[in-house]
Amino acid sequence: MIPIDFNVLIQAITGIVNPTAMLRNKLERNETVIRLLKQFNLSPDSPPADFGGVYAYTLIEYGVGKPKVVLELFRQPEIRQALQAAWGQDNFSVLLQVGEGFLEGAALGHELQALGIDVRQEFYQFATVFIAIAKRTRTPGDILTAHQLNSLHRQIAQVHERLERLPSIEGIRTEMARLAAQSVLALPEASGAEQCNAFALAQQMRGWFETLGYRFEAYELWQTNAFEWIINIPVRRGRYDRVLV
């Protein structure tokens, strides 16, 4: 496909009149998303074939109705490189590791927080849409089930509806895990699937631990079929037990 100018793309997404009202009107939002997809030569019915297409598709599906300052987050080289690494390796734990680290120290992330925007929630919502599109892209077209042959845009609209019912980051993580754990027929027989399974379990566990108030240290170890964390479990005021998981 012809390379997309992402400056032009973001300008088109954020140039929409009254985006807040559009968020409340799902029909109008869907029509705008479809119009933008077609404007940038992306099919609402079938997934793009390369990373640039998946990235652009995600920006449109996620970004319509979002303020420009939020979309600027996903133009940062660190985030885009993490997205491309996750795409290339079909290992979405890469995206979360790099994304979490970037958000901790990035000035833009702090600016968004100061504006009352939950930057981690926005990141996880974007990542969930990206995973959903990437998963569909990697499924060979000649063996898609009848359900999977539905319009890609309609499938992503369903993902958006589920995200709207998930008010917490923990809930969004669980949705990401569900998507990442789906069968991907284009993967190698062993390592890729094992990585996805480890990622899914890790996100579910992290969601549970965060709900319980456990804290995570910076240490992480990821292998093909295993992962490790160090968590801090509160035992009394100001005191924590350190546990290797």
- What gap in Å lies between CA 229 and CA 232, rounded to an integer? 10
pLDDT for the residue 36: 92
Establish if 157 belongs to a structural domain.
yes
Q: Cα–Cα distances in Å, from 245 out to 147, 169, 222, 228? A: 38, 21, 12, 5
Structural domain contains residue 225:
no
Kind and range of the H or E element at 126?
A: helix 119-137
Identity at 204, one-letter amino acid code: Q
For residue 29, is it within any domain? yes
Distance CA 214, CA 207 (A): 10
244 inside domain: no
Are 175 and 160 in contact, with CB atoms under 8 Å apart? no
The predicted-structure confidence for 173-220, as pLDDT tens digits, reads as follows 777 766 766 654 333 333 333 344 566 677 677 777 877 778 878 777
Hey, CA dihedral for 144, 86, 169, 36, is it positive or negative? negative
62 domain residue, yes or no: yes
Which pLDDT score, from 0 to 100, does residue 208 have?
77
- Percentages helix, strand, coil for the chain, rounded to the nearest 5? 60, 10, 30
- Termini Cα distance of the chain: 44
Q: Give the residue among 163, 209, 192 at the shortest CA–CA distance from 93.
A: 192
Beta bridge partners of 94: none
Mean pLDDT on 73-80? 88
> What is the rounded CA–CA span in Å between residue 130 and residue 179?
10
Confidence band of 55 (pLDDT split at 50, 70, 90): very high
Amino acid at 216: F
The span from the CA of 124 to the CA of 96, in Å, is 8
**34 within domain boundaries:** yes
What is the DSSP-derived secondary structure letter of residue 66? S
> 45 is in which domain, residue-wise?
6-190
Instruction: Give per-residue pLDDT as tens, 156-179.
Output: 776 767 676 665 676 777 777 667
- Lowest mean pLDDT segment, chosen from 32-41, 61-70, 141-150: 141-150
Q: Is 116 among the domain residues?
A: yes
Percent of the chain with pLDDT over 70: 71
Measured CA angle at 231 (ends 226, 232), to 5 deg:
170
**Res 198: pLDDT:** 61
199 within a domain of the structure (yes/no): no
- Which two structure tokens, joined as six digits, stand for 110? 């702090």
Pair of tokens at residue 76 = 């940062």
Tokens of residue 48, six digits: 């793009």
Helix (H, G, I), strand (E, B) or coil at 141: helix
pTM higher than 0.85: no
Number of compact structural domains in the chain: 1
d(CA 166, CA 202): 18
Q: Which residues contact 67 (CB under 8 A, 6 or more apart)?
A: 14, 19, 117
